[in-house]
Structure 1
Amino acid sequence: MKLGVLSDIHGNRVALAAVLDDMPAVDGLVCAGDVVGYNPWHADCVDAMRGESAGLPEGVPWPTEAVPTVMGNHDRAVAGETPFAFNGMAQAGVEHATEQLSEEQLAWLADLPDERRVCDDRVKLVHGHPDDPDHYTYPDEFGPDLLDDEDVLVMGHTHHQHHEVYDDGIVMNPGSVGQPRDNDFRAAYSVLDLDEMTVEDRRVKYDTDAVIEAVEDAGLPRNIGFRLVKGQ
């Protein structure tokens, strides 16, 4: 069984469309949180993860059913629950998402769990860390001690793509679809093969100029768009 693994889409419909176009054949998708924030297409990205593709641009293989997703810190802030210490760009994105999303979309965000297990509990999804959803677990903290009884632990939050294979299983972060911060501007995602217990980390180019223009048109801080060019 193969899974397409996403995280930190952050309202970037252009990057998400590029990832879905690039993705090889998989048996399903999962998302490690932060569907919204920063970039201006929060509603479209929420609908994509909800499997509600009717209003999305044609010609993209949007999900046709709901994608198992956990709650990220931006999702939580937009849903109106536990606050998080945000910088100016992040706060602007949260406010923009709150204004843009419908009550139904906000309710979907509010219902997201901090942890989710899929594939007969073989895969555990969290956003930051198994013990703290807001902790930034960078690659130098990866280790088999992060695993519980699952075969694969998927984390997001850092926007750094990385995975490690241990005797006890796999610890992985697919990187960020919508705002990479590992000095590579290309949208990041991974393909997890549960039969072979392997991970293929993938990157795909997308039209960052279109995102920069949309950020400015939405009245969001300009650096939200410009930082995408450097992957920072």
Structure 2
Amino acid sequence: MRHLILSDIHSNLEALHAVLRNAEGAYDTIVCCGDLVGYNAAPIEVIDWARKTLSAVVRGNHDTVCCGIEDPLMFNSVAREAALWTLDELPPASRAWLAELPAGPLTFDGFEIAHGSPGGEDDYLIDTVDVSGLDQIMMRKICFFGHTHLQGGWSWQRGGIQRLTKPALSEDERIIDLDPDFLYLINPGSVGQPRDGDPRAAYAIWDSGNSLLRYRRVKYDIRAAQNRIHEAGLPEYLADRLAAGR
């Protein structure tokens, strides 16, 4: 089975469409590690697509705020403004659907999906020290997660914890052969707001039958996504950061 693994779409319809075009024919199901909405300006369209298309999804912290079940008190001012705009923009049916999304971790077809971490949906896994001990609580040998907007991950091998590396700026794809004896924490990266210095939309394809992981990056129409932000009256910073990949 080939799974298209997405995370942190964040209402960026242009990036989502580019990913789906780029991955066409290479997957059987689509799963998402949360944060469908927030930051960008196409929340209704992204939710409509998700409701029709996703085989499995967990909620992200922006999803819980943008549907009104949590307050944005812990968000910075820019994220808070975007979340409140999204909450006001969404129709009741979309807010209700977001509110019913499950908290991770969630098991699906032999692997696990989470937003922040298998240990906590709001945890940030950035450095190797952050993942220490998580091998003791993972429910499956592979867990996909998001939240950091940083494509990559870790594996528990005989020599200890090893980092998984994303494609270089000169690459569109990096293929990793996963060892069935090892444990893996894998971040597909952010579709809608990458923060690793590469502005291209990020995603992954997990081919369970062949034990192959494909990290991928694809260019999208950043200018169109920025124009949506401008037209919505959202903070200029949210448009600027798309071009920087920060």
Question: Common fold, TM-score beyond 0.5?
Answer: yes
Q: Give the structure 1 partner of residue 231 of structure 2.
A: 217
> How far has the Cα of 1:200 moved from its partner?
0.7
Residue number in structure 2 paired with 1:59? none
Report the alpha carbon displacement of residue 139 of structure 1 after superposing the two structures with TM: 4.7
- Select which of 138, 147, 150 maps to 2:140: 150
In structure 2, what residue type is equivalent to 1:97? T
The structure with the largest strand share of the pair is 2
1-side partners of 2:118 and 2:38: how far apart? 22
Q: Deviations 1:57-108 (Å, cap 9, x if unpaired)?
A: xxxxxx3xx4311010000111222335111221111111111111111111
- Name the Cα RMSD after superposition: 1.6
1:81 to 64, 69, 72: 69
CA deviation profile, 1:27-82 (whole Å, cap 9, x unmatched): 1010000000000000111111111xxxxxxxxxxx3xx43110100001112223
Alignment equivalent of 1:191, drawn from 192, 205, 215:
205
Secondary structure of 2:206's aligned partner: strand
Note if contact 1:144-1:171 (Cα within 8 Å) is conserved in structure 2.
Answer: no
Distance 1:130 1:186 in 2: 27
Gaps of 5+ in 2: 157-180
Distance in 1 between the 2:69 and 2:224 partners?
32
> Per-residue deviation at 1:194?
1.2
Distance 1:193 1:169 in 2: 16
Number of matched residues? 217
Distance across 1 between alignment mates of 2:139 and 2:83: 35
Which residue in 2 is equivalent to 1:41? 42
> Is the Cα contact below 8 Å between 2:2 and 2:29 reproduced in 1?
yes
What amino acid maps onto 2:142 in structure 1? Answer: V
Q: CA deviation at 1:165?
A: 4.0
Correspondence for 2:9: 9
Which letter does structure 1 place at the counterpart of 2:85?
Answer: H
Larger radius of gyration, structure 1 or 2?
2
- Give a deviation string over 1:142-190, Cα, whole Å, max 9, x none: 4673352313101100000003344333210000000000000000000
Q: Which runs of 5+ in 1 are unaligned?
A: 52-62
What is the 5 A alignment of 1:52-201?
63=53, 66-84=54-72, 85-115=74-104, 116-119=106-109, 122-140=110-128, 141-142=130-131, 145-146=134-135, 148-166=138-156, 167-201=181-215
Q: The residue matched to 1:171 in structure 2 has which SS? A: strand
Contact 1:144-1:168 at 8 Å conserved across structures: no
Gap change, CA 1:194 and 1:165, over 3 Å in 2? farther
1: CA distance between counterparts of 2:234 and 2:45?
A: 17
Distance of 2:97 and 2:68 partners within structure 1: 12
Alpha-carbon distance change, 91 to 176 in structure 1, aligned in 2, over 3 angstroms:
same
Q: Is the 2:64–2:70 contact (alpha carbons within 8 Å) kept by the matching residues of 1?
A: yes
User: Would you say the 8 A contact 2:118–2:138 is kept in 1?
Assistant: no
Provide the identity percentage. Answer: 37
Is 1:27 the counterpart of 2:28? The answer is yes
Give every structure 1 segment of 4 or more consecutive aligned residues whose post-TM-superposition deviation is greater than 4 Å.
Answer: none
Instruction: After superposition, give the CA deviation of every residue in 1:5-30 in whole Å (9 maximum; x if it has no partner).
Output: 00000000000000000014211010
What TM-score do the two structures reach when normalised by structure 2?
0.84
TM-score for both structures, normalised by structure 1: 0.88
Distance 1:11 1:134, change over 3 A: same
Q: CA deviation at 1:126?
A: 0.8
Name the residue aligned to 1:55.
none
